Structure formats: C-alpha cells, structure tokens
Structure 1
Amino acid sequence: MRRIFGGSKGTPAKQAAPTGFVHADEKRIVDGKGHPLLLRGVNIGGWMLQEPYLMLINKTICPAQYAIFEKVKATLGSEALFEEYRQAWLNNFCTERDIKLIAQAGFNSIRVPLHYNLFTLSIQEETIKGKDTWKPEGFRILDAVLGWCEKHNLYAIIDLHAAPGGQGYDSKINDYNKTNPSLWESDENIRKTIALWTEIAKRYKDRKIIAAYDLLNEPNWMFEQTGNKNGRNDRYNKPLQKFYVDCIRAIRQVDPNHMIVIEGNGWSNNHRGLWPFADQNLVLSFHYYWVEPTTESIKLYLQLRTKYNVPLWVGESGENHNQWYSQAVQLLESHDIGWCWWTFKKLESTSGCFTIAKPEGYQELIDHWTHGKKSPPAPEKIMAQLAENALVENCTRNEGVVQALLQITKLQRVLIGGEGAPVRITAVDYCRFKGIGTEQTKDEGGGYNVAWLETGHWVAYDVQVKKSGNYKISYRIASITGDGGLQLNSDKDTKRIDRSIKSFPNTGAWQTWQTISHVVELQEGCQRLTVESTQHGWNLNWIEFESA
C-alpha cells in the first residue's frame, strides 16, 4: 500500500495505535499499522450513476439519470435492449484493468459512488412499508471492485452518491425526482438509507481495503428559510446532523472499525451545526471546485480541523485545467489534506485521466432527445458502442492530468536539431497549458487536437535544442473564419523576442487543416517552448521543427 509518512514540516510523526484498519487519529488519517496516510485518489464517477453532463446531455431536458434512462428506453423501444445497454455500461465502465491502471499510475485510493437502486428497491417499489429488499446486483459489483482493490493494493472509499429519494435539489448528482418525496421529506427514505448503510457495514466490516464509508455525497437542501435552496446558508442543519448521528449509531452496532466521512450541506461545504460528534473515527470532508488554490480558500476547514481535532479529506475536486490541478494538489498536500479527483474517465473530455470517445450517431441521438430531431438509424447499436467505448482499453489516456495530480515531472525532452527528419510534436502532448480544450481530430493520423484557443491561452512543451540557430517551425492549424495568431516563447529568453505569426488563413471548417510556418532563432539547450494564442478562434494539431 502506498503511504506518505511524517507531517508537512518534515518532522517525524508519532505512530498511532495499530487497528488493522485505516482510521482517524486526532487530526490525521493513519493506515492499519498506525502510520500517517495521505489519500491520493480518483472518483469512479459516471459508473453507477450517470449524471447528465457526463453523458453530454442538457440537464433541462434530462435533469437526472431517471430521465436519461426514460429517453434511452423510449428510443430503443424495448426493455430488453435497454437492459442490455445498461448491463454493458456497468460491466465495461470499471473493470479490473481500470483498477490496475489507477494503481500503476501512482494513486493509492478510489472513491466508489453508489446509486441506492442497485442495492435495494425504492420505497415506492417495496410491497410492505418498512421492508428492505436487497438486490444482488449492486453487492455483486461492489464485491468485484473491492476484490480488485485488494489485489492491486488500492484503498476504496464507499460513497452513497444517490440516496433513497435523493439528498438534494440538485437532481443531476443524486437522481432526485421531484414527483416523489426526497430523502428529507420522508422518514421512510431516511430509515431505508440507514438500513442500507447498516447492510453494507455488515457485509464488509472485515474488509480492511475499505478506507471509509462516505455516508452522503453533497447534501444540498434548505432546512431553514435562509434563501438558498441548496442549503449553503443554513446555520444549524439539524435534520442532516440527526441523520448522521443515527446512521453512525446503526453502523457502529455492526462495524466498530471503519472510518466514516462527514460531508456538509450545500454540496458538502456547509458544516455549520454538524460538529462535534461523539464518535472519534470520523473525517471532515469538503469538496474543492472553482476557487483560487490559496491557503485562504481552505482557511475555514483548517480552523474546523483544529477546533474539532478531526482530519480533513477532499472527497471531490477537478473540472479544471492541469495547471490548476497541480497547484491545488500542492496546496492540499502542504496542509496534510488527502484528495480524490473527479473523475477518472469522462465522455469527450480531457479533464479526467481517460477520455471516452463519443460514438458515431450519439450526437444525433442527443439532438433527437433535445430538439426533437429525427432519431438516427439503429440507436441500439449506438448505445452498445457507447458502452464498448467505456472500456479503458478503448479510451484515450490524458497523461497531463495524471502528471499534474501526482506531481510527476517529465524527464524526457524532445530533441530538436539532430540528424534526420523534422521533429513533430503532437499538440496535446503538452507539459502544461492554460485554458485550452481538446477534441478528436479528423486530420490525417487521427487522435486529438488542441481546440478552442482564445487570446491568452497557451500550451507548453519541454524540448532540448541541439545547437543554436535558425529553425523552421510549422504549425498544423484550423480556423473557420481566418481568426487566430500566435507567439512562440522560450523560458531561455531574457527579453521578449518577436516569434509571432499575426494572421492565419481561413481553412473553412474547424476540422479542415492547413500548415503554416515561420523561421525563428532558438538557443541551444533544454528549455520550455510556449505557443501563446494572440487571437481567438483556432485549433492546433501538431508542431514541427527542422533546421532552416
């Protein structure tokens, strides 16, 4: 198991009493032997709960998974075809190969978001009030992933992402259907949620690979008349606090060992009124999105850690660019805060470790659901291909994300100016970037291109220039309107040198490509070259260097 020893100041940390389980030891998390443990992980988001944005679907059309499934089922016209797709998605999205790759990359944990309906019936489906029907499907999936984690030495945090009824108004993240009572509007939903956690604890009480139970992902419900329906302004959060107390008590009756994660209201970050708890094996979790990664941004949580003598853990962060990732991780780890990034793989997005390709015809299906356009032929084949594309061996690895999260520095540099053919760098093989996106390219050779470059965006590459001199540098660009411009910079420059191309040709389409070039002088030695966009509206597929 990968561990981080010692405190942030480099001083030896006192060893906690060994329990065999990951647990809270005052302000820190420790492993089963009592050694300090910094959790560095990824979420397996989108697997057991399909959030609309992860599926590229507008939430106004499909506010939650239940609505997505209704659209898919109606389009396929057959319960059997829908079930075939659903099973394929669950079977393919996370396999042992995913877990092995996560461990090999250098992460030491995963967070596994659960949807309750894979484990038990809804209160509307139960024939007897107060009865809990346990469904084998969810437990079979969880058994498998825990077995893979044990095999590959990867801690697992079990997270209830969608509780019975839904735990917040933000339905896309918890499958809340406003036609039925939410978790907070039904005592029976609360009872069933606690019963589910008790059943999970019974089954897995001896599994030391489980680092924690994350009781409720991102509650977001206004319990008081504070003006924010998602509970960000609530001062007391009494129903949430009572739920936690009752759920912890039920779990401890069958499982005295596993650490328990407490999330605040308002998407995890409003902990007012929740603390303290009697149980000492707890961790305070907050989610970290869309803020400047400064100590000031986490000051409140550092104060809570000190006040309540409890460890901190960021259960979710991400949805940003690699430079931000690197800065955020450095900040959190400098304060001994572990983290779990959202999310491991995503459809047509490079913000996760892997990108799932959108199958041909899937956009037409989305347009059919969104705008009522004609459905493409053979929708069952499109959905089957979507599930097939979710296999990690069919995904594209975003190495820059992994390197940014794990603070890996590329030691290999591209050699420029040697003998032989020109040297080509694929644009998405950057070491750092600001603001850009990526998309599948239709240019010769396939793969992905850097997309949607705006003024001030940039991509950087580490190179080694064999000798000083003039070099012809070519750029493979696309610009639908003829907009675009660039400036090439080197970190060896002592002053700004004009290496610009001020205007681009109109290529006619975003995936119609032309090659432009200029001759510039480069100094000998290792350096970081940055291609800076000086005008908006262009794509970049590759850069090529040759002696002039």
Structure 2
Amino acid sequence: NGYGDTLLIRAMGIGGWMVQEGYMLQTASFANPQHKIKDTIEDLIGATATQAFYDAWLENHFNKADVDSMAAWGFNTIRVPMHYNLFTLPIEEEPVLGQNTWRTKGFNLLDSVVTWAEDAGLYVILDLHAAPGGQGYDQGISDYDPTKPSLWESVHNRTKTVALWKKLAEKFATDTTIAGYDLINEPNWNLPGGTLLRNLYEDITDSIRTVDTNHIIFIEGNWFANTFTGLTPPWDNNMAYSPHKYWSPVNSIADIQYGLDLRDTYNVPIWFGETGENSNAWYTGLISIMESEGVGWAWWPLKKVETINAPLSITKNLGYQQLLNYWSGNASAPSVADATAALMQLATNLKAENCTYNRGVIDAMFRQIYDPTALPWKEHTIPGIVHASEYDMGPLGVAYYDTESMQLNPPPAWNSGWTYRNDGVDVQAFSDFVNSNGYCVGWVDTDDWMQYTVEIAQDSVYTIKVRQGANGATGGNFYFEADGVKLTPNYYASNTGSWSILADKVIPNVILSSEDKTLRFVANSGGFNVASFEFIPTGSTTALDAEYVSSNTYSYTEIEVKTNKPLDTTQLGNFASYYVTINGNQASVVNIAPSPNNVRNFILTLNQNMTFLDEMKVSYSGTALKAKDGTAVDPFTQELVENTLPTVHVIPGKIEAEAYSSMDGISLENTSDVGGGQNIGYLDGGDYLLYDIKVLNNATYSIDYRHASQSNGKIQFELYDTSGTYLSNMPEVTLPSTGGWQTWNTTSGNAGVLTQGDYILKLNVIQAPVNINWFEFIQGIGVEEEMASDNLMVYPNPAQDGFKLGGMWAEGAPLEIYVYDESGRLWIKESLTYASDRVISTKELSTGTYLVTVVSSGKRFTEKLLIVQ
C-alpha cells in the first residue's frame, strides 16, 4: 500500500448489486442478463414501477451495514462490480456518437461505498464488470446484448471504456481507500493472440496514468480471466495479474500454479480476483493454499436469493416465487399490484439486517484456515434431542465427513438438499410431526458421519431413538461413537416405505458418560434419511457388563485399548495380565496408562516397534481392570488390533507417481495409460517429489519408469533417511520422447544396491517437460545370495544369440526369468513355463557379464552368463 506495507487482499465481490445476474435471482432460465431481467419486469408492471424497483434495489442491496459486517468478519477489501450504464449512456443513446454523457448515479454510489469503507478501515477495488457493449459471449456476466455491437465489435464502445476509466481515475487519484482498478472482468471473446485485448488494456492504462500514478491496475486474462496470451510481459510498473478460480481441485499449491507462474516469471503480484460458488470445504482448502503462498483473493458474491454458499441469503417471499412460476410458464399471471408488491418486498429483503447469515461460510473462510477444529453449531444437552442437521461447525474430516463435499468440473456437488448448511452433508427442508427442527439429512452415503459436541448431564445407560426413513428393504446401517470409541453395534435403518416418512429406530443399552464430549453418528453403509436423535436415560451403568470394544495402534510402540465404560484409572491391571503378539510372536508390555483421548481407553506400551505390515493381537486375562462404576472388565482373547501406522511404499513394488507425500511444482492430470487414474505432469527442472518407502530386502534393484512426452526428459532419485539426512543418489535416467503427452512407454534404469530399511525417496526433475505415471522397483540378486549353480545350468555359456536353462524343474513348471548386468540394471524379464529346449534370446544384449536369475516356487537361483559377439 501507500505506506510500503504488504497487503494480503481478502476481498468480497458485491455481485448482483450494480450488475444483476440471473442465477442470483433465480431467473437464469428465462432472463439471464440484466437487460432481459429488467425487460421481463417492465413487461409485467410497467416502466414507472420498474424504475422504483431498481432504485430500491440499488439503495438496499449494499449499504453501510454490509460494509461493517464484512469488516467484522475479517475482510479488508471490497471489490465493487460496476455497470457502465450507471456512469454513462450506452453508445446507442448518446446524442452525439463518440461523445460521453456522464450520469451521476454510479459515481454517487461509489462515493457512499468509499465513505463506508474508509470508516470501517477497508480498501475498495473498482471492477468494470459490465463494460460498454459487453465484453463476452456469456450474456449474464456482462449484460451483453447480442443484437448490439459488443465491446470488441465497436471502437466507440472501447473509446467509451477508456474514457470511463479516466473519469474514475481523475475522481479517485489521491484517494487512499481505493486499492486499485480491475479494468475488465472476465473477457470471453475470440481475440486472436490477445492483441485487441492488450491494445485496449494499454489504452486504458495510458488514460489512467495521465491522471493517476498511484493505484494498482489489475489485469484479467481472456476466457474468464485465465488466458494471458498476448498479455505478458507487464507494460506498467504498478500492475498485477488477476486470474480467477472456480470448480477445480484445491488439494495443493499445484492447483494455483497457473497464477504463481505469472508471478514468478514476470516478478509481478497476482491476485485471485474472483472465486467462490462452492462448499465450505473448498473455501477452506483454497484460501489455505493461497495464503500459504502470500496470494490475496476476492470471494463471490456477498448475497444471493435463497443460497447456502454466500455469507448472506436473501429471503424469497411467496409473491416472488409466484412471479418465478409465472415467468417460467408454470402459473398464471399475477396482478400488477401483487407483482409490484412482491418485487418491492424482495428489494426490502436485500438489506443485510433482513438476510439470513450463513455463519458457517465465514467460519470456513477465516477461523478454520488457522484453527482447524470443530465448534458446536448449537448447544446440545443430553438427556434431550439432538437434530441431525445441527452437527458441529468445522473442517471436513473434523466436524463431519461426506463423500461428496465440493463441486469440481464436472460435478458432483455437495449439499444436495441446498439448505441450512454449506457442507457436504445433504440437509433438506423436511417437516415431521416428531422432534422436528424443519430439516432432515438425506442422501446418506457409506462412510458419511456427523459429529456433535454434547453436554451429558449424568452417567447412565441410554436408549437412543433415531428418527430415520428409508425406501427399501435394506436401508443401510449406522452406529454411534463417543470420542472415537464405538458405542453401539451396527443397526440397519428401518424401511418406512418412503423417503418422506420417518419412524423411530430404537437403540438400547448405550452407555454415556458426563466425560464424553463428542458423539458421532456414522453411516457404515448408506441409503437412509435421518432427522434427529432422542437420548433417554434408562438406568445405572452397573446393569451392563464392562467389555472390550476394539483396539488400534497408537504409536510405533503403543496400542490403545477401548472399552464400553469409563475406566477407573487407578485399576488398569498389571503387565502380566496382558498378552500381545506381533505376527504371532509375544511382545512384552512395559507400561499401562490412561488414554488422553477417552476415559474408556488405556494405552499399552510394548518393548519393541511395530510397522504397518505387522499383525498385532491383544489379550487380557486378569481381574483388576475396573470400570469407574466398579464393574470388572471382562477378559478378552486374541483380539485383532487395527493397524493405523503410516503406510509407506514397499520396495520391491510399483509406486504410482501421484502417491507422493510431498512435492514442489507438480500438477496432476487424468491419464489415458492402461489402468487409468492420474499421472504427474507439467514438470519443470528443479521440481521434485518425496515418497516414504520401505525396502524389504538387501539386494540390487532396477527401475521401470512409465513416461510420456514430446521431448526427452531426465530424472534422478535420491535416498534420505527418515530424518531427512541425505544418504546417496541413484544414476540419472533419460526418458526418451514418446511422441505425445499421453503416449506411454516404459524405460528401465539401474537403482543399484538398496539396503533393508525405511527411507525417504526423492525424485528430482532434471530435464523437462515429461509426464510420469508410475515407476517400479524390481529386485535382482540379493546382496547376500549365493550363486546356485548346482541347481541351475545356463548353456551355452558363453552365449551369443541366446541360452537355455537346465535344472530340477519339470516340463511346464512356471518360471520368472531376470537377466541383469553387473551394475544391477534389468535387461530381460520374462514369465514362462519351463521347457528344456526353450531358447531365451540375448540378441539385444551387448558383450559382457550378466546374472541370470530364475524364480520358481518361492526359491531364487542365480548363475553368471557371458555374452560374446
């Protein structure tokens, strides 16, 4: 800014205020651009009433209350989308073509915004959202009328655009509340080479700089802001590029790399000047990525009619819905008086104080970025009723989980019920005569869950009445958890015969404790609706046995054991009463302690490490392990421990290139290679990927690389220990051009000798571009393996064009044949059935010494072979 401070722009775009868009008013199917919306209204209620409606619209849609709310929520900038016709006449209405008649309405509106923003400590960015004539084929965005010349088809429209920006710059040249000028929103027109777009941008820039050298100029690319062909390098020393982002992945920095490349290549700031229209999980993901790179953003929009994914939702009155029905051809025409009243009521509903505040949206955009915890959506007290739709507020995987949690391109989307919450949980409006809050959770899929922060008044056995519905004989099943401990078996949803009919599913004998802080409702398999849970105390916990529930790995040396009751932490038993095996071998218990996660759990510490490949079982045969209510925990025998230790890639074996633990500069794309999935691409020299690996055997290894490119690439692996200390590197490998980015070939290389253990494998990109789908480490001769010449005969030896095998195998026995050079590089790999007269061709091998390895029935035999010419 003007004080030399770095500004991370956190802006909100005021969509729908000066430029109406049909989808925000639910008119897109019959009137998408503003001029059609206005004509549709005027045809029904007349010009005078229409003008009164638009006056009220501009007055009420955005005012000081909105600005103050934005400041309180955490925004620091307002992006104001402007319609040129509030500032100047269309060229078709100018008394003298080529001259500009100025209107005061737009300038007065901006004066108000700047005053409110200054009072609230916010910046303002001016955005020409609807340029003279319209800047794109998409009519709704820029109010383009295809019966008239567009911005690109009329020099007079472009001249007017230049003049408008100069007029605005003259007015705000020294205003420090103005952060900058977003010259043209989302051009989307066939502009070869971007030449006409750049020429117009330069003309606007020149006109602004004659009166204003202070403010930033923001430049959007063609095709909805993201194609910068012809727009680089920068032509002004105080400008920024402004790409947009919608309906695309938000998994890593690679997902905004197209913007970062502009910044890094041209040493110019970038600002993602428009994004949004998605779920809370998508919002949190994208903002986290952008702010990790110091990149600012602007969300879109502040409010819409009946929405869940904007901060404010405009209430749709019944009269307006009747208007929509009429305009859609599904109802008769209302009277002029009723139509006018409905529209004026809609204009009143625009005011911030009359809108519904979607607090989950703001929480996802601000708090959850730096505090990824769950907060109660509502206070829940047990005994009592908990409504399914009132699950905690927080990130995906913390407050809830849903298999469809955001909209990408193409869909699926997220909340299929489109009401109340902006998460993946599918909340729908629903009226029920029992315990209803007006909502129901539907479209429940397998593994979906919702968490509820609760206050439990007393330790007790409870009956839970689950208000649910299903339309089918098997409606899926569910269970409850408390702070990570499964409280109930799986219960199948009852078939109510209709999705619109609910009934009580009674879950008996559930032990709840006042120390339980969160409950989860988990769909073990989907196919039902659920509206509420009623918790009814039925008696003392002493009436039920204390029992083992489950166990899991807690660390590399610890197992967490879970029971159904809160435990007496002073009576956890002695070491000798527990028996733990790892792959069938006993491991000693050296400590027993309460779990910090749940009063029902305790931790067993072992005298040795476990790995993700191990199978652990736990037994208890004592009498000292007691619940808090005095009941003894029943003994249990050889219960399987869930292994939750981090999974790593096992060598020998195949590693999918996209299955990295960390990376820099990598993008993913769908692959056409056999097996489908994704490949890594858009690689540049200096990019890298990290993989966690476990080498099972001391041996020499070769590597097969699956790659595609239009030019040669070069990569190299490095090996690090698990603390990140460099150990060694493998030979560089050249990946020859395959002729296309999805034309896949396999190239083999040498890995050398690898020693058993855990490592970090780093793939360095040396020469690019190249795409990689997978790479496979293939084990050769073991480092400690002896030559097995007594069991394997390779002849003739030396060989020239091929060799035969002799040994102890019967005709037809399955064999795996590997031929390595002395560096460990694999040259031949064949699967065949044994035949004494079968010749293995060596015509492609150069003169030298090789190792022939035969694997059969789990045994490995190796013999040296000399190739001569």
TM-score (norm 2): 0.54
Residues 494 and 505 in structure 2, CA contact (< 8 A), matched pair in contact too: no
> AA paired with 1:138?
G
* CA displacement 1:209-237 (0-9 Å, x = unmatched): 1111111111111123xxxxxxxxxxx21
Equivalence for 1:53? 23
Distance 1:289 1:488, change over 3 A: farther
Residues 64 and 492 of structure 1, relative CA distance in 2, 3 Å threshold = same
Amino acid at match of 1:187: V
1:355 match: secondary structure: strand
User: Mean Cα displacement is larger for which, 527-536 or 269-278?
Assistant: 527-536
Give the aligned residue type for 2:138: D
Map 1:158-173 → 2, pairs under 5 A: 158-173=126-141
The equivalent residue for 1:201 is 169
Q: Is the 8 A contact 1:483 1:537 kept in 2?
A: no
Pair 1:290 & 2:290 matched: no
Structure 1 residue runs of 5 or longer lacking an equivalent are 1-21, 23-31, 225-235
Q: 1:328 — aligned with what?
A: 286
Query: Which residue in the other structure is 2:443 paired with?
Result: 453
Matched, 1:487 2:478: yes
1:125-164 counterparts in 2 under 5 A?
A: 125-164=93-132
How does 1:235-314 map onto structure 2 within 5 Å?
236-293=193-250, 294-314=252-272
Q: Answer yes or no: is 1:63 the counterpart of 2:32.
A: yes
Residue deviations 1:505-526, cap 9 Å, x none? 35785xx876665454556433
> In structure 2, how many angstroms separate the alpha carbons of the residues matched to 1:539 and 1:384?
38
Q: Which moved more, 1:397-406 or 1:366-375?
A: 366-375
Residue pairs, 1:1-400, within 5 angstroms: 22=1, 32-59=2-29, 61-76=30-45, 78-224=46-192, 236-293=193-250, 294-371=252-329, 373-377=331-335, 378-400=338-360
Structure 2 vs 1, CA of residues 330 and 473 (structure 1 numbering), >3 Å: closer, same or farther? Answer: farther
Stretch moving more, 354-363 or 451-460? 451-460
Instruction: Tell me how far apart the structure 2 counterparts of residues 203 and 69 of structure 1 sit (CA, whole Å).
Output: 30
The answer as to whether partners of 2:388 and 2:530 remain within 8 angstroms in 1 is no
* SS in structure 2 of the partner of residue 387 of structure 1: helix
Deviation at 1:177, TM superposition (A): 0.7
Cα pair 2:219 2:239 within 8 Å, conserved: yes
Aligned-CA RMSD value: 3.0
CA shift for structure 1 position 274: 0.4
Q: Which structure: greater strand fraction? A: 2
**CA distance in 2 between partners of 1:357 and 1:484 (Å):** 35
1:291–1:474 distance in 2 versus 1, CA, 3 Å = farther
**1:194 Cα deviation after fit:** 1.0
Gap runs ≥5 in structure 2? 395-399, 406-413, 421-428, 539-869
Higher relative contact order (CA 8 A, sep 6+): 1
**C-alpha contact 1:471 1:547 (8 A) present in aligned 2:** yes
In structure 1, give the amino acid aligned to 2:350.
Answer: A
Rounded Cα–Cα distance in structure 2 between residues aligned with 1:114 and 1:539: 45
Describe the superposition over 1:33-55 as per-residue Cα deviations: whole angstroms up to 9, x where unpaired: 21222111221111111111111
Listed one character per residue, the Cα deviations across residues 492-543 of structure 1 (whole Å, up to 9, x for unaligned) are 336796454523535785xx87666545455643336355595457474x55
C-alpha distance in 1 between matches for 2:437 and 2:15: 24
What do the CA deviations read for 1:378-401 (whole angstroms, capped 9, x no partner)? Answer: 111111111111111111111110
User: Contact conserved, 1:167 with 1:184, CA < 8 A, in 2?
Assistant: yes
Question: Which residue identity lines up with residue 518 of structure 2 in the other structure?
Answer: Q
How far the C-alpha of 1:74 sits from its partner, in A, is 0.9
SS in 2 for 1:267: helix
TM-score (norm 1): 0.83
Match 2:364 to one of 404, 408, 421: 404
Tell me, what secondary structure is at the counterpart of 2:240? strand
- The AA in structure 1 aligned to 2:496 is P
Change (3 A) 1:81 1:343: same
The sequence identity of aligned pairs, in percent, is 35
**Equivalent residue letter for 1:369:** W
User: Which amino acid counterpart does residue 347 of structure 2 have in structure 1?
Assistant: A
Match of 1:41, SS state, is strand
List per-residue Cα deviations over 1:158-197 (Å, max 9, x = no partner).
Answer: 1111111111001111111100011111111011111111
Seen in structure 2, the aligned counterparts of structure 1 residues 518 and 80 have a Cα distance that, compared at 3 Å, is: farther
Contact 1:54 1:346 in 2 (8 A): yes
SS in 1 for 2:196: helix
Aligned: 1:427 with 2:389: yes
- Is the CA contact (8 Å cut-off) linking 1:118 and 1:138 kept in structure 2? yes
Larger helix proportion of the pair:
1
Amino acid in structure 1 at the alignment position of 2:452: Y
Greater radius of gyration (CA): 2
1:275 maps to a residue whose letter is: T
